[in-house]
Amino acid sequence: MGVCMNKKTIEAIVAPPPPHMVGDGFRVHNFFPNSRLIDKKRMSPFFAMDYNAKIEFSPRETPRGVGVHPHRGFETVTIAYHGRIAHHDSAGNSGVIGEGDVQWMTAASGLLHKEYHEQEFSRKGGLFQMVQLWVNLPAKYKMTPPKYQEISHDKMGKYNLADGKGVVEIIAGEFKDVKGPAFTFTPMHVYNARIKKGANQELSFPANCNTGILMVEGSANINGSAVQGDHFVLFKNDGESIQITADEDSVMLVLSGEPIDEPIAQYGPFLMNTWQELEQAIEDVNAGKFGMLED
């Protein structure tokens, strides 16, 4: 192959689907798995992506958000671009993430969770922009104990592009031998690529990995195609190279991972392998086995 690696083919550039509210605090576009182009296995190990595109929230004394709800069988990864979120779970974890931070919650065997706009942010109101990913777990890890990784912006791996042309922030996986702090159960790369106007950057991922890019800010030419803000680029499982030229200062969420080749059974906030496991999850919640959390 030499230096000139095969370019990945773009399978689709997906416009933001119609938004819906999650609780009263998150106005999200679900790029997958509900898009007709991207089914529940197409971006595995990433099962779901909810994108809260930029929105101004008015000041409010009582914080908006999502009340107590259970999770089992996967991880939620919340990436903050603007605004601040506070969260609590039934394992006793709580925290706040703000601009540039990530909350990586392994629900696994199960917990109750709630997330709200952080109190001061709510009182002042302002610009809000977030992504939440659901990352699937292989069957053998679905019932491991819950855990939580708080990945503040300063803990991320950072690769500075030449001539001050930007930075790649590595949340998980690695880029040019710079590693990200997140522990993952299967191989994956999760980056924020912040690229200045006019700069070029190449990314490279194996053909067998499922790969996509969300244009969080700005616009760019990606492998010869123009990509506007708030659009998602899905790549075919071919080639390795992604060539990016930023048309304006841009922020891109880059996802690539080895697929988990197992059956998927999903119902609401549960992501398992069989319907029997889903029924068990519902029984366990009703029996109080996910612990207690007040709304």
| DSSP H or E segment with residue 59 | none
Nearest Cα residue to 235 out of 1, 3, 14, 4: 14
Q: How many CB atoms lie within 10 A of CB 12?
A: 16
Number of Cβ within 10 Å of residue 172's Cβ equals 25
Q: pTM here?
A: 0.96
Residue found by looking up tokens 């880029």 in the block: 175
pLDDT classification of 1: cutoffs 50, 70, 90 = very low
In this prediction, residues 23-43 reach a mean pLDDT of: 92
The reported pLDDT for the residue numbered 5 is 66
pLDDT tens digits, 248-264: 999 999 999 999 999 99
Domains and CATH numbers, the chain: 10-283 (2.60.120.10)
CB atoms within 10 A of CB 109: 17
CB-CB contact of 271 with 59 (8 Å): no
CA distances (Å), 235 to each of 65, 133, 163, in order?
33, 18, 29
Beta strands in 152-246 (DSSP E): 157-160, 166-172, 174-175, 178-179, 188-195, 200-204, 210-217, 220-222, 225-227, 232-235, 241-246
67-122: per-residue pLDDT in tens?
999 999 999 999 999 999 999 999 888 999 999 999 999 999 999 999 999 999 99
23: left (phi over 0), alpha (psi -120 to 50) or beta: left
Peptide bond into 33 cis (omega under 30): yes
